Amino acid sequence: MKSFLALFLVLGLFFAGCATQQPGTQEPPQAKEKGTLSLSISSQESYNENSGVSQIMVGFENIKAIGADGHELGLTVNKKIYDVLSLEGEKGGLGSTELESEAFTGLKATVSKIEVLLADGETIQVELPQKEFLVENNFGITKDSETNMVLYFDLYSIAMQDGKYVFAPNMVKLFGEKQFGEFMEKMREEGREVEDELAKPRIEQVIFEPAGVSDENFFLAWTVASSEDKLVEHTAVHWDLVGGHGENFEEYANASDVLTGRTTDGQFGVGFALPEVLEETTLFFRVHAMVEGKHAYSEEKSITIMPATGDAQQEPETKEFTILANDSKFDPNEITVSPGDLVRITFNVPTSGVSWGGEDIRSDHFNTGVVKPGENKTIEFTAPESSFKVRSFWPNSSILKATMNVTIG
């Protein structure tokens, strides 16, 4: 009887197990967590308005998200063509894609075409030596959330190479939405600082011979510069036979004729008779300007005065230099001159390795203005007493490109 009961319990457990799990059945799959990746495109707010370029049209074949383990996921991309020149810091939608929640390291983009439209109506196809390129930045997709990423298309990624427009994708960046806002605000702040600095009146390109003869007429020329059209209420040369005066022009015992004008046509020049001296003497001077209530001064400079009865000092030869300036360098990147030398530099901007916007070359002693690819600009100045730097910038956006040294030896 006991054996019969034990067998009955075993059979009962067996059939109960068969009732709870039928052959061939599986647990239902768990729903995967998903979120949305929204992708947009933008460009900088500043560019060279005088470049002759009216539109830069960019199209994409595809864009893929790169997973942390290297796998690639295709994204939904609008098949439209974007005028990145007109975005100016605004965002244009590239598309939104639902993705499983995971971490990504960046995007892989493939450009279909880039066209440059000139103001005269001509359309130029930009060469694409590398159609597919990577832009790296870590981001993640989380459940039921939208992740916004911005493909920042730097306008200067289109550069001149051997007279052709060529795409340089290494200048394209990827930002998260917050990163993009911080980046654009930093760009605006830098732009405001540059604009404020350029709007300040300043004395540039003071040109004069380093020596003159006693009691003879002497001529100086200079520029009163500002990025804005301002009234030059007063500008003159203030001089003395004693040096070491500060910026207070009233410390100088003498002054030339006073000139007036505007900074839009800021070229000024005066002649005055050098004082009579019996031996070699040094004349010290500053150029001063009053522009709408604000002072501007040159650094203190000097002229050697030779007595009229002696042999006048032989004028030094003008030192001339030809310098190549592209987006990455000056060549040569250093020149050496002596104080008082009349220096003439020709900056050649080639058609290779230069953005379509050209070069804006500046220093404390001259400013070339915008020099377009294939053009050159010659400037003249009198070498100061101390060394200084010359810098090239992206036109209008004032982003630094390259630096060279002018060494006073």
Q: pLDDT, tens digit, for every residue of 169-178?
A: 988 999 999 9
CATH of the domain at 235: 2.60.40.3880
Average per-residue pLDDT in the chain?
86
Same domain (yes/no): 254, 192: no
Residue 92 is assigned to a structural domain of this protein? yes
Residue 313 is assigned to a structural domain of this protein? no
Residue 46 is assigned to a structural domain of this protein? yes
Q: Is the pLDDT of residue 314 over 60?
A: no
Residue 330 is assigned to a structural domain of this protein? yes
- Element (H or E) spanning 179, and its range? helix 177-199
Q: Is the pLDDT of residue 5 over 50?
A: no
Phi, psi torsion values for 288, nearest 5 degrees: -125, 145
Residue 12 is assigned to a structural domain of this protein? no
Number of structural domains in the chain? 3
b/e map of 156-176 (b: 16 or more CB within 10 Å)? bbbbbbeeebbbbbeebbbbb
Q: Is the pLDDT of residue 48 over 50?
A: yes
- Average pLDDT estimate for 365-392: 89
Q: Is the pLDDT of residue 387 over 70?
A: yes
Residue 16 is assigned to a structural domain of this protein? no
Same domain (yes/no): 368, 300: no
Same domain (yes/no): 265, 130: no
Same domain (yes/no): 129, 234: no
Phi, psi torsion values for 295, nearest 5 degrees: -85, 150
- Rounded Cα–Cα distance for residues 372 and 390 (Å): 18
Same domain (yes/no): 213, 171: no
Phi, psi torsion values for 276, nearest 5 degrees: -75, 130
Same domain (yes/no): 157, 48: yes
The last residue of one of the domains, among 274, 306, 338, is 306
Same domain (yes/no): 240, 328: no
- Confidence band (pLDDT; 50, 70, 90) for 157? confident
Q: Give residue 34's pLDDT.
A: 92
- Average pLDDT estimate for 258-263: 94
CB 391 within 8 Å of CB 383: no
- Rounded Cα–Cα distance for residues 342 and 351 (Å): 29
Same domain (yes/no): 361, 240: no
- Rounded Cα–Cα distance for residues 182 and 5 (Å): 80
Residue 10 is assigned to a structural domain of this protein? no
CATH of the domain at 384: 2.60.40.420
Provide the domain limits for residue 88. 34-198
Q: Among residues of the chain, what percentage have pLDDT more than 90?
A: 50
Q: Is the pLDDT of residue 399 over 50?
A: yes
Q: Give residue 49's pLDDT.
A: 61
| pTM flag (> 0.85) | no
The last residue of one of the domains, among 198, 219, 250, is 198
Least confidently predicted of 21-30, 247-256, 358-367:
21-30
Q: Is the pLDDT of residue 15 over 50?
A: no
Q: Is the pLDDT of residue 371 over 80?
A: yes
User: Which residue, among 119, 194, 167, has the nearest Cα to 360 in the 3D structure?
Assistant: 194
* Of residues 356 and 173, more confidently modeled: 173
Q: How many CA atoms lie within 13 A of 210 on its CB side?
A: 18
Residue 312 is assigned to a structural domain of this protein? no
Same domain (yes/no): 256, 323: no
Same domain (yes/no): 349, 227: no
Same domain (yes/no): 44, 140: yes
Strand ranges inside 28-102, DSSP E: 34-42, 53-67, 72-74, 82-83, 92-100
Which CA distances in Å does 217 have to 5, 49, 272, 346, 404?
A: 136, 44, 5, 29, 36
Same domain (yes/no): 286, 164: no
The last residue of one of the domains, among 145, 164, 198, is 198
Q: Among residues of the chain, what percentage have pLDDT more than 70?
A: 88
- Confidence band (pLDDT; 50, 70, 90) for 397? low
